[in-house]
Amino acid sequence: MRTMRKIRFQFIRALLLLSTTACAGEDSAKAKYVFLFVGDGMGSAQVALAEAYKASLEGDSVGFVPTSFSRFPVRADVTTHCAVRRTTESAAAGTAIASGSKAGEAAIGVDVSGKTLRTLAEEARDAGVPVGILTTVPVNHATPAAFYAHVPNRNDYWEIGRQLADSRMSLFAGGDFQEPKGKKGQDKEDSRVLAARKGYKIVRGRDSIAANTTLPAILLGLDPDDAALPWEMDSSDARTPVLADYVAAAIRLLDSPKGFFVMAEAGKIDWAGHANDARANIDEVWGLDSAVKVALEFAAKHPKQTLIVVTADHETGGLSLGSGATGYKTDFGLLRHQKSSRDRLEDLLAPIAASVETAKTAGDTAKVVSQVFARIATETGLGRVPELALAATDSVEILESLRARWGTARAAAKSGYGATGSPAATAIRILNRKAGVGWTTGAHTAIPVPLYAMGVGQEKFAGRLDNTDIPWLVRELAAWRKMRCSP
């Protein structure tokens, strides 16, 4: 199988090499406008849960309301393994999608030997095509970085930020920069200063982004202390941009006689998977859908020149629609009672739980416990909504997590994306269980992810693919691959 795949890659590369000998007038590439959407951590189950949840809200307890991209005419399954193991992570997977070559764990834009890999974004830029790299997480996070940076380790955020400033890409957008002043927060020159020095205009907030006419630019969220945009379900400030705003701005700013290339990542689908937060995951998938709809509106005006691809870098969480706790019964509509993401619930509960340390009597402690349960009820519906009544075992789970918060087990199990044994995490887990949502892990899985395609050359994406196939197929179809005749 591996040998056949290598032969296939070599065949595609050979076709591309042959195309360089053709005259520009003989080039059959037609995709002037290319959109590549990446739902980080988005497996087929994440899409299905979002669709089932929306159906539940509309009174349909058994069906699905399709996302816009689920209706695309072409669908494929994509394998995601990296060069060194079957279960990948975003750096290696992003590198494969951006360049067409496998990479090792945590590597950005380099192969297993350390060789620099050329990316779709760099090729488009060098052909004079405006490029936009958009995300809901930090602009120097793994997936966006894979399209413009080349470092052995994804955690070298400052160096990635420095390379962003030197990248000559037309447009970036995200929450902000991760570690803009280095690991210690003060040992390096601010990444935003470096970018501004290279000519990038930094624009914050939805209104300013909509009014901006300057390129090159970096579009950011309102909060410079938060490197990611707020969760879709937590965002109540109309001034805060979302991914759909970034896609709209990219179309307006980048449209040119040579077209454009846009990579747009919904990065917090992955974060919700790590947190096993089903409701946050659902809202992030629908946030991606809103962004794809903006591209579809554009494609409707340029149907013979546009290619839209929606895919994922890997699946996160081992999500299932159905769990052992409920058997064959599910009620995903119960998730509507969750008002805050797990992250926000952590912030709301932390000061209440911490106050138990100053409690002087059993009555004081009982009062704190009551306040924690009341906040959980308000934010999740647990213990407040009849269908979400807390069984004795549920209450014990929450009490045990509280004990871990202030007792000898203070260092509760943690992942890179927050505490897994906290009261907030426990409450979300109980809610998911009652709704019939299952999770097998707080990490990534190796299950193939979906790909959806429509537009120029859509049929080429059908069937079984590897993530390294994606950029080679885009290269085959992109108009910027036109070459002049040899002298």
- Per residue in 114-169, pLDDT (tens digit) is 999 999 999 999 999 999 999 999 999 999 999 999 999 999 999 999 999 999 99
Decide which of 379 and 482 is more confident. 379
* Contacts for 423 with CB less than 8 Å, ≥ 6 apart: 349, 353, 372, 376, 398, 401, 402, 405
CA 264 to chain centre: 9
> Taking the CB of residue 222, how many other CB atoms lie within 10 A of it?
17
Q: Are 243 and 291 in contact (CB under 8 A)?
A: yes
- 423 preceded by cis ω (within 30°)? no
- Residue 417 pLDDT: 52
- Residue 409 pLDDT: 35
- Residue 484 pLDDT: 34
- Report in angstroms the alpha-carbon separations of 431 from 246, 310, 332, 389, 401: 33, 30, 10, 10, 15
Confidence of residue 393 (pLDDT cuts 50, 70, 90): very high
- Residue 149 pLDDT: 98
Region of poorest pLDDT, from 11-15, 206-210, 476-480, 483-487? 483-487
Confidence of residue 416 (pLDDT cuts 50, 70, 90): very low
Q: Are 68 and 296 in contact (CB under 8 A)?
A: yes
The CATH number of 12-319+445-481, from 3.40.1440.10, 3.30.1490.20, 3.40.720.10, 3.40.109.10, is 3.40.720.10
Query: Quick one: which of 82, 50, 86, 56 has its CA closest to 69?
Result: 50
User: Is the model's pLDDT at 234 over the cut of 70?
Assistant: yes
User: Is the model's pLDDT at 199 over the cut of 70?
Assistant: yes
| For range 419-426, the mean pLDDT | 83
* Cα 46 from Cα 278, distance rounded (Å): 9
- Residue 30 pLDDT: 87
Confidence of residue 419 (pLDDT cuts 50, 70, 90): low
| For range 395-409, the mean pLDDT | 76
Domain ranges of the chain: 12-319+445-481, 322-438
User: Is the model's pLDDT at 256 over the cut of 80?
Assistant: yes
pLDDT tens sequence across 280-303: 999 999 999 999 999 999 999 999
Decide which of 405 and 151 is more confident. 151
**What pTM was computed for the model?**
0.92
Average pLDDT across the chain, whole number: 91
Confidence of residue 414 (pLDDT cuts 50, 70, 90): very low
User: Is the model's pLDDT at 51 over the cut of 50?
Assistant: yes
Tokens describing residue 438: 């299952």
- Residue 236 pLDDT: 84
Query: Quick one: which of 239, 218, 210 has its CA closest to 134?
Result: 218
